């Protein structure tokens, strides 16, 4: 069979990745710079036997996604900053009720309506803490068109396995950029679907022991009975005020991510074996950093790149290991310092941490990052 | 052929610069087998406002997706010329639309009647982007005519094949003439 090589936008490859992963429901409200994802899903889903619903706003959009997912669909929505803000309440509902789904946020400049057609990376903290209360977060950050496809597949796999909303944190730079990629053939990438319960319906506990990560859980309408609520609940899903049950539920949510860090965290490193200066950068900004470390190497400076692919949970350990051995860590981002704050939190080693930031709607240029590397090397 | 080309196609929103960028990138990337990246910049409005598409074509891996030193510039409006001609390389090929770009502050700029030919010979001004793209391929050799043909035909709306073929032929002829 001949290879399927296509020129695609990051947004288009995200949609194709969703279909590849078995997504059969999209509910949402189109918004720049994520609109192409909705457009592609509206074209593809009916052909694939799925459903696409455009709702009146993003709140209703994520509500349909949670409902469809609770009923057994593999569901997603896609939005940008203003819509992501509207989705925050129900994102928390998805965490609490443990509903698997994928939420794509193609970041644009903010706050508020901000810069519809221009990119940013300033929703890092919103992705982590935008919804209230202690809760687990998984956020993946593609740096290329191909990675947008592959991380969308991974986002669905993780949602199914960890039974929670997973955020694909794209940015306009990658979402609207076109590169060529080879579409994986059927079976080339693993697709995870959660197991269904096999017990007698009367014995089924929707939030029973072992059903949190990799376990079986039922869909609404499957014959297994359970309750879904945003209230803190017991193993059946009914609201509880008992301290032991509240503690159990909150520990269960935390353990989802904290007990599986090695499986969840992916970090790409380039030229780090002998690096004295490292650049920490993700998504679109990492493309600038990739170019910059090569230009610095060409000048004879030992520079390397640390690129988080998983942004949440934050790669504390991998970052700490780098901070321990390098002289300077440059944090390159399209934000006023959301990534910087996390690096400073992890830095217990008196390593110099230098920000390189831009927040005028444009990408960082390689020259801006190279200048910071050259300065650090003096 | 150079190892790396940075190309900027600029004009007004609605003139099809982004479409032209996609057709060029697909031709060079998918059909000529080069490494390519296409990116764009546009305003929130659907029509009007300066708009640009950038394409980088290289034999090597491309990391930073934006153009910084332009090898080939197309400017379809005076505003686009003013806004986007500042970072041309000394040996850059600059091509402008003779109808909309009247003043250029640089020697050796190639001025061709893309919009005029589109209107008068095809009866469809928005097809000026295809005429320009065909001319660029002839003048610079940045993409092969066969690949441009394949990419063009896969990206245009059904029922417009004849008009697009005609536009391409006009562009090839303009390009051949300009190269002399």
- Picking from A7, A287, A288, the nearest residue to B29 by CB comes out as A7
Asked if B43 reaches chain A (Cβ–Cβ under 8 Å), the answer is: yes
CATH code: domain of residue A370: 3.40.50.920
Preceding peptide of A350 cis, ω within 30°: no
**Å between A313 CA and nearest CA of chain B:** 26
The CATH number linked to A131 is 3.40.50.970
Q: Which of A353, A115, A69 is nearest to A228 (CA)?
A: A69
Of all residues in chain A, the one with the smallest CA distance to B21 is: A178
C-alpha A130/C-alpha A139 separation (Å) is 13
Q: What is the pLDDT along chain A (378 residues), one digit of tens a residue?
A: 589 999 999 999 999 999 999 999 999 999 999 999 999 999 999 999 999 999 999 999 999 999 999 999 999 999 999 999 999 999 999 999 999 999 999 999 999 999 999 999 999 999 999 999 999 999 999 999 999 999 999 999 999 999 999 999 999 999 999 999 999 999 999 999 999 999 999 999 999 977 889 999 999 999 999 999 999 999 999 999 999 999 999 999 999 999 999 999 999 999 999 999 999 999 999 999 999 999 999 999 999 999 999 999 999 999 999 999 999 999 999 999 999 999 999 999 999 999 999 999 999 999 999 999 999 999
- Residue A260 covered by a domain: no
- How many whole angstroms separate alpha carbon A82 and alpha carbon A52? 21
Decide if A199 is inside a domain. Answer: no
Residues of A in contact with B26 (CB under 8 A): 7
Separation in Å, CA of B101 to nearest CA in chain A: 26
Q: What is the pLDDT of residue A60?
A: 98
User: Cβ of A32 under 8 Å from any chain B Cβ?
Assistant: yes
Looking at the structure, do residues A143 and A42 belong to the same domain, yes or no?
A: yes
DSSP A46-93: HHTT-EEEE-SSHHHHHHHHHHHHHTT--EEEEE-HHHHHHHHHHHHH
Residue B47 binned pLDDT confidence (cut-offs 50, 70, 90): low
> Per the CB < 8 Å rule, is B44 touching A176?
no
Is A287 at the interface with chain B, CB within 8 A?
yes
Residue range of the domain that includes B59: 4-179
pTM comes to 0.96
- Determine the residue among A2, A7, A114 to mutate to test chain B binding: the one whose Cβ has the most chain B Cβ atoms within 10 Å: A7
Q: What angle do CA A215, A217, A218 make, to 5 degrees?
A: 160
Q: Are residues A273 and A164 in the same domain?
A: no
Distance CA B122, CA B103 (A): 26
Residue at which a domain ends, from A133, A158, A182:
A182
Mean pLDDT (whole number) for B101-124: 96
Contacts of A288 in chain B (CB under 8 A): 63-64
Residue A98 lies in a domain: yes
Question: pLDDT tier at B45 (50, 70, 90 boundaries)?
Answer: low
Q: Which of A32, A178, A291 to mutate to test the interface with B (most CBs of B within 10 A)?
A: A178
Residue of B nearest to A6 (CA): B30
Contact B26 A363 (CB under 8 A): no
Residue A240 maps to a domain: no
B52 contact A CB<8A: no
Give the DSSP per-residue string, A127-171: HHHSSSSS----EE---SHHHHHHHHHHHHHHHHHHTSEEEEEEE
What's residue B50's pLDDT? 85
Look at chain B and report how many structural domains it folds into: 1
Q: A363 and B65: CB-CB below 8 Å?
A: yes
pLDDT, one tens digit per residue, over B134-167 is 999 999 999 999 999 999 999 999 999 999 999 9
Average pLDDT over residues B112-131: 96
Q: What is the pLDDT of residue A66?
A: 98
Asked if residues A58 and A29 have their Cβ atoms less than 8 Å apart, the reply is yes
User: Closest chain B residue to A362 measured between Cα atoms?
Assistant: B41
Nearest to B64 among A6, A178, A287 (CB): A287
Q: A163, A182, A201 — which closes off a domain?
A: A182
User: Which residues in chain A are closer than 8 Å to B44, comparing Cβ atoms?
Assistant: 32, 116-117
Q: Is the residue at A280 inside a domain?
A: yes
Residue A313, Cβ density class (10 Å: 0-12 exposed, 13-18 middle, ≥19 buried): middle
Asked if residue A247 is part of any domain, the answer here is no
Distance in Å, alpha carbon of A143 to nearest chain B alpha carbon = 10
Size of interface A-B (CB pairs under 8 A): 56
Distance from CA of A335 to the nearest CA of B (A): 18
CATH code, domain carrying B58: 3.40.920.10
Nearest to A178 among B37, B41, B44 (CB): B37
Closest residue in B to A293 (Cα) is: B63
d(CA A102, CA A66): 10
The string of pLDDT tens digits covering residues B55-83 is: 999 999 999 999 999 999 999 999 999 99
Q: Which of A176, A178, A290 sits opposite B63 (nearest CB)?
A: A290
Q: What distances in angstroms separate CA A59 from CA A79, A262, B77, B116, one per listed residue?
A: 11, 33, 42, 49
What's the domain range around A289? 267-377
The single residue listed with the structure tokens 């059903």 is A211
User: Does A173 lie in the same domain as A24?
Assistant: yes
Q: Measuring CA to CA, which residue among A110, A172, A122, A161 is closest to residue A138?
A: A161
Q: Is B165 exposed, middle or buried (0-12, 13-18, 19+ CB in 10 A)?
A: middle
Structural domains in chain A (count): 2
Q: Is B32 on the interface with A (CB under 8 A)?
A: no
- What is the pLDDT at residue B4? 94
- Hey, are the CB atoms on B44 and A32 less than 8 Å from each other? yes
Contacts of B43 in chain A (CB under 8 A): 117
In the Cβ-directed half-sphere of A187, how many Cα atoms lie within 13 Å? 0
A212 is a domain residue: no
Whether residue A182 contacts residue A116, with contact meaning beta carbons closer than 8 Å, is answered with no
Q: Give dist(CA B7, CA B68) in Å, integer.
A: 10
In this complex, the residue of B29, B42, B63 whose CB is nearest that of residue A287 is: B63
A151 and A279 within one domain: no
| Chain A contact for B31 (CB, 8 A cutoff) | no
**Residue B30 in contact with partner chain A when CB distance is under 8 A:** yes
- Could you give the angle at the alpha carbon of B155 between the alpha carbons of B149 and B157, nearest 5°? 115
Last residue of a domain, one of A182, A206, A224: A182
With CB atoms and an 8 Å threshold, state whether B65 touches A6: no
């Amino acid at each position: 069979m001949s290879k399927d090589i296509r020129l695609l936008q990051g947004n288009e490859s995200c949609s194709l990745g969703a279909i590849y992963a078995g997504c059969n429901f999209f509910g949402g409200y189109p918004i720049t710079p994520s609109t192409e994802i909705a457009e592609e899903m509206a074209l593809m889903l009916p052909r694939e036997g799925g459903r696409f619903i455009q709702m009146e706003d993003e709140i209703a959009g994520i509500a349909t996604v949670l409902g469809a997912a609770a009923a057994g669909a593999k569901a997603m929505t896609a939005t940008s900053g203003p819509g992501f803000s509207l989705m925050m309440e129900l994102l928390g509902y998805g965490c609490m009720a443990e509903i698997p789904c994928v939420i794509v946020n193609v970041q644009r400049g903010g706050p508020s309506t901000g810069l519809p057609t221009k990119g940013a990376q300033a929703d890092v903290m919103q992705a982590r803490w935008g919804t209230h209360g202690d809760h687990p977060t998984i956020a993946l950050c593609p740096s290329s068109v191909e990675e947008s496809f592959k991380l969308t597949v991974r986002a669905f796999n993780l949602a199914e396995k960890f039974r929670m909303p997973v955020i694909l944190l794209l940015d306009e730079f990658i979402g609207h950029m076109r590169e060529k990629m080879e579409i994986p053939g059927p079976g080339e990438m693993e697709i995870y679907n959660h197991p269904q319960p096999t017990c007698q319906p009367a014995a089924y506990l929707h939030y029973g022991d072992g059903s949190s990560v990799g376990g079986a859980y039922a869909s609404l309408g499957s014959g297994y009975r359970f309750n879904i609520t945003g209230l803190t609940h017991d193993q059946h899903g009914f609201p509880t005020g008992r301290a032991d049950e509240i503690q159990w539920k909150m520990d269960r949510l935390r353990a989802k991510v904290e007990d599986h860090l090695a499986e969840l965290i992916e970090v790409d490193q380039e030229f780090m074996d002998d690096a004295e200066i490292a650049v920490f950068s993700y998504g679109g900004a990492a493309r600038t950093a990739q170019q910059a470390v090569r230009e610095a190497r060409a000048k004879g400076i030992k520079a390397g790149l640390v690129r988080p692919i998983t942004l949440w949970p934050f790669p504390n350990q991998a970052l700490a290991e780098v901070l321990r051995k390098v002289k300077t860590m440059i944090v390159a981002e399209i934000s006023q310092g959301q990534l910087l704050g996390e690096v400073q939190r992890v830095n217990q080693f008196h390593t110099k941490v230098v920000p390189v930031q831009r927040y005028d709607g444009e990408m960082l240029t390689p020259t801006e990052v190279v200048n910071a590397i050259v300065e650090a090397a003096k | 052929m150079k190892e790396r080309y940075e190309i900027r196609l600029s004009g007004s929103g609605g003139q099809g610069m982004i479409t032209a960028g996609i057709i060029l990138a697909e031709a060079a990337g998918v059909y000529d087998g080069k490494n390519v990246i296409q990116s764009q910049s546009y305003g929130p409005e659907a029509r009007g406002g300066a708009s640009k598409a950038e394409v980088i074509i290289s034999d090597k891996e491309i990391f930073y997706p934006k153009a910084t030193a332009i090898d080939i510039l197309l400017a379809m409006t005076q505003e686009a010329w003013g806004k986007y001609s500042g970072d041309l390389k000394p040996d850059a090929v600059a091509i402008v639309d003779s109808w909309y770009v009247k003043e250029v502050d640089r020697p050796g700029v190639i001025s061709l009647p893309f919009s005029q030919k589109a209107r008068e010979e095809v009866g469809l001004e928005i097809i000026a982007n295809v005429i320009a793209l065909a001319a660029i391929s002839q003048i610079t050799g940045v993409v092969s005519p066969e690949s441009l043909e394949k990419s063009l035909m896969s990206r245009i709306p059904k029922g417009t094949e004849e008009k697009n073929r005609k536009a391409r032929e006009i562009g090839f002829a303009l390009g051949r003439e300009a190269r002399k």
